[in-house]
Amino acid sequence: MIDRSYADFAWEQATALLGIDSPSGFTANAARWVKDAFESLGCPARITVKGGVLVELGGKNAGDALFLEAHTDTLGAMVSQIKGNGRLKLTPLGGMSPNNAEAENVRVYTRSGKIYEGTCQLADASVHVNGNYADTKRTYDTIEIVLDENVTSAQETKALGIAIGDIVCFDPRTRRTASGYLKSRFLDDKLSVGILLGFAKYLKDNHIEPERKLYAHITVYEEVGHGGSASVPAGVTEAISVDMGCVGEGLDCTERQVSICAKDSGGPYSYEVVSKLIDAARRTGADYAVDVYPHYGSDVEATLRAGYDIRHGLIGAGVYASHGYERSHIDGVYNAILVLAGYTGVI
């Protein structure tokens, strides 16, 4: 059995990565961190032209290789307008809901390298002043960034060096509870990057060389739909997206389990791969659920759409409140590692 310390290591790595802002299109710092983290475990890694990280996890048979995909890009926003009052109008990066963005602290990154703090608020956010506060629909036309700077005009904001196209990053608010719950924005999918690092550490600590060649691809445009569309090495026959497992009404998975996805909005996953994932969960004693996700797409589906001739699957630690303030559990992390180990035959 795999020691549970590898789940703790996975969370430690995820926590460090969650501290690096990386919405889609602004991922260079996170990619460098991911590359260094895998290399520190003895896994050769390189940054692709597109900006992802391609990692060799070891293994013998390169003609029947397995490709594990996770992503380090997150939701975020971009400055689309500097308003006359000096505040910022946003356009989302990925599926960031304005309902979830409201009242969050943010960092605004300028192209000159300066970083400014602010808060995402409803325009006219004082309840004691705005009688329509509760009735106002939250959209990217009704929320704005209030900078923590003494600015009252567009000219004053521009004088700070803030411009259209600057990146706005939301505070992840990462924490672990005494009961093992893991809470943060952007567990989707930095938690899975941590899981792959925990799995890699297990392989290296125990000097295990899998029968199949294993690669990991940490992508950087998953949240906008094309993260996994490139950089698949020759010889790969199967790809598994390690992403968040959905938790919600009508689904069986909890945060303490690993979810195996049979179908999502992009269609069914490979029946053969899903069956082998279920078998791996049973053989390793992993606590798992099989679910159908109603509103979901993954890196590995982008890989198939790009024309690669592979079989595909999807697993993930259960995550509640997806694309909001998300919650998982250290047990879900451990169960995901067990399934990866069982599927690759290293346990």
What local confidence, expressed as pLDDT, does residue 1 receive?
86
Mean pLDDT of 299-326: 98
Cis peptide bond prior to 135, omega within 30° of 0? no
Residue 334's pLDDT band (boundaries 50, 70, 90)?
very high
Catalytic residues: 222
Sign of CA dihedral 116, 117, 121, 123: negative
What local confidence, expressed as pLDDT, does residue 199 receive?
98
Average pLDDT score, the chain: 98
Mean pLDDT of 34-61: 98
Residue 327's pLDDT band (boundaries 50, 70, 90)?
very high
What local confidence, expressed as pLDDT, does residue 158 receive?
98
Position 38 pLDDT exceeds 90: yes
Q: How many residues in the chain?
A: 347
What local confidence, expressed as pLDDT, does residue 66 receive?
98
**Structural domains of the chain, with CATH:** 5-74+186-343 (3.40.630.10), 76-170 (2.40.30.40)
Report d(CA 123, CA 145) in Å as an integer. Answer: 9
Comparing 290 with 1, the larger pLDDT belongs to 290
The DSSP secondary structure of 12-43, one letter per residue, reads HHHHHHHTS--BTT--HHHHHHHHHHHHHTT-
What local confidence, expressed as pLDDT, does residue 245 receive?
98
Position 283 pLDDT exceeds 90: yes
pLDDT digits (tens, 9 = 90+) for 93-134: 999 999 999 999 999 999 999 999 999 999 999 999 999 999
Residues near 301 by Cβ (< 8 Å), separated by ≥ 6?
228, 241, 264, 266, 267, 312
Would you say 98 and 139 are in contact if contact means Cβ atoms under 8 Å apart?
A: yes
Report d(CA 78, CA 261) in Å as an integer. Answer: 32
* Encoded tokens for 301: 């589906």
Report d(CA 190, CA 194) in Å as an integer. Answer: 6
The percent of residues above 90 in pLDDT, for the chain, comes to: 100
Mean pLDDT of 246-270: 97
Mean pLDDT of 312-326: 98
Q: Can you tell me which residue has the tokens 């990619």?
A: 31
Instruction: Name 328's bridge partners.
Output: 182
Residue 253's pLDDT band (boundaries 50, 70, 90)?
very high
First to last CA, the chain: 7
**Alpha helices per DSSP H over the chain:** 5-18, 28-40, 98-101, 154-159, 187-205, 271-284, 299-305, 330-343
* Encoded tokens for 49: 């032209």
pLDDT digits (tens, 9 = 90+) for 166-180: 999 999 999 999 999
pLDDT digits (tens, 9 = 90+) for 149-162: 999 999 999 999 99
